[in-house]
A and B are shown apart, each in its own frame.
Chain A
Amino acid sequence: MAIDELLGGFADALTPLNLLFALLGVLLGTAVGVLPGIGPAMTVALLLPATYVLEPTSALIMFAGIYYGGMYGGSTTSILLNTPGESSSIMTALEGNKMAKAGRGSAALATAAIGSFVAGTIATVLLALVAPTVVELAIGVTSADYFALAVIAFVAVATVLGSSPLRGLAALCLGLYLGLVGTDVLTGQERFTLGIPQLSDGIDVVVVAVALFAVGEALHVASRLRRGAVQVIDHQGSWMTRQDFRRSWAPWLRGTAFGFPFGALPAGGAEIPTFLSYATERKLTKHPEEFGKGAIEGVAGPEAANNAAAAGVLVPLLTLGIPTSATAAIILAAFQGYGIQPGPTLLTTEGPLVWALIASLLIGNAMLLVLNLPLVGLWVKLLRIPRPYLYAGILAFASLGSFAVNADPLDLVLLLLLGLLGFVMRRYGWPVAPAVIGLILGPIAETNLRRALAISNGDLGVLVDTWFSRVVLVLAALALVGPIVLRAVRGPRPSPAELQHADAAADEDDTVRSADR
């Protein structure tokens, strides 16, 4: 029974050492979530070398804490900084920013933090309940099914998440290429190593992730730095009033209901559910006039959706070994560093580890609530770090993390080259996450493909042999073609700002029309 095992997980997670790592993780996660320019994916990547010294449970508890903490920290930034941030917190920024400017910053921060807590807790419990069932369903999956799952994850991260499917595919191709470099596991042949001996072990995940995220971001910011002092809106006003609370609880729950399934499907991501949540709250609110001027529902819903999606992403990661976000991909790399391959067998072979991880997520969530409600002033100070020092510091840590892997300066040269790639990708709107997922999931996909084809003696028909793989591949094809068709029929997806104003315009149209009548 899941409950018993979860209780066992709590017993493991509540040891002083693991509590310490959970606290360290949520502290680091909140800090990097607050700081512009770095996020949880890059932080976990930088800390991957910690897997050499820490035991798996402690390291993974810390990484999961960073993952959750990053979500909390991101909301603080998007509410108090007057500029757009990560795609999944844009919807929070729309209303949260207006609330902060209207002197209700504290209420916005509080509804975001409590909403994140509620959503994170419910979604993590759902994760614990759903995971064993998914494993039972997945226990019979063949290599061909597994390959199909990898394909749908590729297609989903490349085409559904970003705003431009082709650019997502382009980034995916880059990641798949980087994953090919090195020695073929099954035959021991070198591939695309250009005769450089250091490349025969492959390009390290740490180097690629840190380069694309940290170095690429630093160069991109350097190219168009917002000059002048950083403008942080004061968080003033009272915490949530009774009325704020009454207006927030339903959006929290609805946001969770949107976020978790979207995250849990191997076509996940946090962007779409936050969009949907915002649009829904806009429709359902009793205070439509406040939307666009700082409606608390517009902060509570998307923020809950964001966090629930983050927890949902762990379902395919822990039960199928399929990562659907950049951070999840790097956590998968951490598992691999310990010689553990997440998949349907993970719950049986590494049961205690997984349950301790899930339990520590619940504990970390409670810690985050405490860290974020009273201590928000501390995090706000981080927002004021002068940008030249912030980005110089990010590069210093990028150097540390990449050099620590092999103690080879060539890795740093590679880091710079891939960083320049990350810079041009950002510049032209190529998303970075598909590249990281291609790098990590690519080799897994290849191994399963070749295993399947070896069993069938090279007959490609084996790939569509089971109903499962057929359905998944058809879904993948739909996800690949769907957005292109939709775009052709309906034009590009509305931007967040358009979404904010679209309904208002439609409402005005209605009033005009009814006035005519």
Chain B
Amino acid sequence: MSTSTTPPGAQQRGHTGEAVLAALLAALGVYLLVDAGAIAVPGSSNTVGPRFFPYAVGGLTVLTGAALALRVLRGDRGPAEDSEDIDPDAPTDWRAVGVIAVAFLAHALLINVIGWPLAVALMFAAVAWALGAVGIVRPFLIGLLLGCVVWTVFVKALNVALPGGTVLEWMTSWI
């Protein structure tokens, strides 16, 4: 592989996103400083109460956030995290990120309604679909199989508390 002259994706991206992130970090620091003042200090604590460390962390956070925001605005770029499955030159696929986030949120809310195996199967299918798996039935069935097997192992063998859903709990009640 010859070294290409175009820099990897990290350098090509705009800096607004990271500047916002750094500003948010500084804002988090301000929140820490302000809210630390609201921590109740019991009269008995003589010297250093529960506020001291939060103040220190808040101060460090404000400084770091501000310094990083400045550097980013001046053009400093971090190298995006490498991973075997990442194509650094690919455009960001916001649709996939959105689908996965929504699917995960939905499964979190569904667990106590339809049970973990079914909720996870639906999430599995949606995530696989968003990442380009062919079809929707096969991913769902694989997810359902995975969910049922894992549920059975963890609940029946390891006694982990995990809602199984009416059907599966009835089917496995003999174990």
Given the interface contacts A186-B50, A399-B120, does A164 sit within 8 Å of B85 by beta carbon?
A: no
* Main DSSP-derived SS at the B contact region: helix
Is the Cβ of B57 less than 8 Å from the Cβ of A173? yes
| Most interface-central of A81, A177, A222, A389 (chain B CB within 10 A) | A222
Is the Cβ of B104 less than 8 Å from the Cβ of A388? no
Is the Cβ of A393 less than 8 Å from the Cβ of B146? yes
Given the interface contacts A223-B94, A429-B77, A458-B47, does A36 sit within 8 Å of B84 by beta carbon?
A: yes
User: Complex: how many Å from CA A180 to CA B57?
Assistant: 9
Is the Cβ of A218 less than 8 Å from the Cβ of B100? yes
Is the Cβ of A392 less than 8 Å from the Cβ of B139? yes
Is the Cβ of B47 less than 8 Å from the Cβ of A170? no
Q: Does A413 contact B (CB under 8 A)?
A: yes
Is the Cβ of A453 less than 8 Å from the Cβ of B123? no
Closest CB-CB distance, B128 to chain A, in whole Å?
4
Is the Cβ of B104 less than 8 Å from the Cβ of A454? no
User: Complex: how many Å from CA A442 to CA B60?
Assistant: 13
Stretch at the interface among A132-140, A187-195, A276-284, A330-338: A187-195
User: Complex: how many Å from CA A79 to CA B130?
Assistant: 29
- The contact size tier of chain A is 35 or more
User: Complex: how many Å from CA A184 to CA B54?
Assistant: 11
Stretch at the interface among A112-120, A245-253, A371-379, A420-428: A420-428
User: Complex: how many Å from CA A400 to CA B121?
Assistant: 12
Q: Does A386 contact B (CB under 8 A)?
A: yes
User: Complex: how many Å from CA A403 to CA B163?
Assistant: 10
Is the Cβ of B61 less than 8 Å from the Cβ of A189? no
Is the Cβ of B133 less than 8 Å from the Cβ of A386? yes
Q: Does B6 contact A (CB under 8 A)?
A: no
Q: Does A396 contact B (CB under 8 A)?
A: yes
Closest to B42 in A: A187
Given the interface contacts A217-B83, A395-B127, A396-B124, does A453 sit within 8 Å of B48 by beta carbon?
A: yes
Q: Which residues of A contact B40 (CB under 8 A)?
A: 189
| Most interface-central of B39, B81, B111 (chain A CB within 10 A) | B81
Q: Does B73 contact A (CB under 8 A)?
A: no
Q: Which residues of B contact A513 (CB under 8 A)?
A: none
Among A163, A387, A429, A450, the residue within 8 A (CB) of B53 is A450
Among A225, A393, A419, A445, the residue within 8 A (CB) of B124 is A393
Among A189, A191, A388, the residue within 8 A (CB) of B128 is A388
Q: Which residues of B contact A397 (CB under 8 A)?
A: 150
Q: Which residues of A contact B161 (CB under 8 A)?
A: 404, 407
Is the Cβ of B92 less than 8 Å from the Cβ of A223? yes
User: Complex: how many Å from CA A167 to CA B85?
Assistant: 23
Q: Does A169 contact B (CB under 8 A)?
A: yes
Task: Please report which residues of chain A, range 403-446, place their CB below 8 angstroms from some CB of chain B when the two chains form the complex.
Answer: 403-404, 407, 409, 412-413, 415-416, 419-420, 423-432, 442, 445-446
Give a binary string over B63-105; 1 marks a CB under 8 Å from any A CB, 0 the rest: 0110110010000111111111111101111101100110011
Stretch at the interface among A14-22, A65-73, A83-91, A310-318: A83-91
User: Complex: how many Å from CA A222 to CA B91?
Assistant: 11
Closest CB-CB distance, B87 to chain A, in whole Å?
4
User: Complex: how many Å from CA A224 to CA B35?
Assistant: 38
Closest CB-CB distance, B32 to chain A, in whole Å?
6
Closest CB-CB distance, A89 to chain B, in whole Å?
10
Given the interface contacts A77-B84, A221-B86, A223-B92, does A187 sit within 8 Å of B54 by beta carbon?
A: no
Is the Cβ of B82 less than 8 Å from the Cβ of A87? yes
Q: Does A11 contact B (CB under 8 A)?
A: no
Give a binary string over A158-176; 1 marks a CB under 8 Å from any B CB, 0 the rest: 0000011011011001101
- The contact size tier of chain B is 35 or more
User: Complex: how many Å from CA A424 to CA B17?
Assistant: 9
Given the interface contacts A170-B22, A416-B101, does A400 sit within 8 Å of B150 by beta carbon?
A: yes
User: Complex: how many Å from CA A395 to CA B80?
Assistant: 22
Given the interface contacts A163-B79, A174-B25, A424-B21, does A226 sit within 8 Å of B90 by beta carbon?
A: yes
Q: Does A220 contact B (CB under 8 A)?
A: yes
Q: Does A202 contact B (CB under 8 A)?
A: no
Closest to A449 in B: B53
Closest to A218 in B: B100
Is the Cβ of A37 less than 8 Å from the Cβ of B83? yes
Among A217, A449, A454, the residue within 8 A (CB) of B46 is A454
Task: Please report which residues of chain B, range 148-162, place their CB below 8 angstroms from some CB of chain A when the two chains form the complex.
Answer: 150, 154, 158-162
Closest CB-CB distance, A433 to chain B, in whole Å?
11
Q: Which residues of A contact B54 (CB under 8 A)?
A: 180, 191-192
Is the Cβ of B124 less than 8 Å from the Cβ of A177? no
Q: Does A215 contact B (CB under 8 A)?
A: yes
Q: Which residues of B contact A489 (CB under 8 A)?
A: none
Task: Please report which residues of chain B, range 1-32, place their CB below 8 angstroms from some CB of chain A when the two chains form the complex.
Answer: 3, 9-10, 17-18, 21-22, 25, 28-29, 32
Closest to B112 in A: A409
User: Complex: how many Å from CA A412 to CA B107?
Assistant: 9
Closest to A185 in B: B50
Closest CB-CB distance, A54 to chain B, in whole Å?
10
Is the Cβ of A184 less than 8 Å from the Cβ of B50? yes
User: Complex: how many Å from CA A110 to CA B105?
Assistant: 44
Is the Cβ of B68 less than 8 Å from the Cβ of A167? yes
Q: Which residues of B contact A449 (CB under 8 A)?
A: 48, 52-53
Q: Which residues of B contact A192 (CB under 8 A)?
A: 32, 35, 54
Q: Which residues of A contact B124 (CB under 8 A)?
A: 392-393, 395-396
Known: A83-B84, A166-B64, A225-B90; 9 extra A-B contacts, CB below 8 A, are: A170-B64, A170-B68, A180-B57, A225-B87, A393-B124, A399-B120, A428-B17, A429-B78, A449-B53
A interface list, Cβ under 8 A from B:
36-37, 49, 53, 77, 81, 83-87, 90, 163-164, 166-167, 169-170, 173-174, 176-177, 180, 184, 186-192, 215, 217-227, 386-389, 391-393, 395-397, 399-400, 403-404, 407, 409, 412-413, 415-416, 419-420, 423-432, 442, 445-446, 449-450, 453-454, 457-458, 495, 497, 501
Query: 20 pairs across A/B with beta carbons < 8 Å?
Result: A84-B82, A164-B78, A173-B60, A189-B50, A191-B36, A191-B54, A192-B54, A220-B83, A222-B96, A222-B97, A392-B124, A392-B127, A397-B150, A412-B108, A412-B111, A415-B108, A424-B17, A426-B80, A449-B48, A457-B46
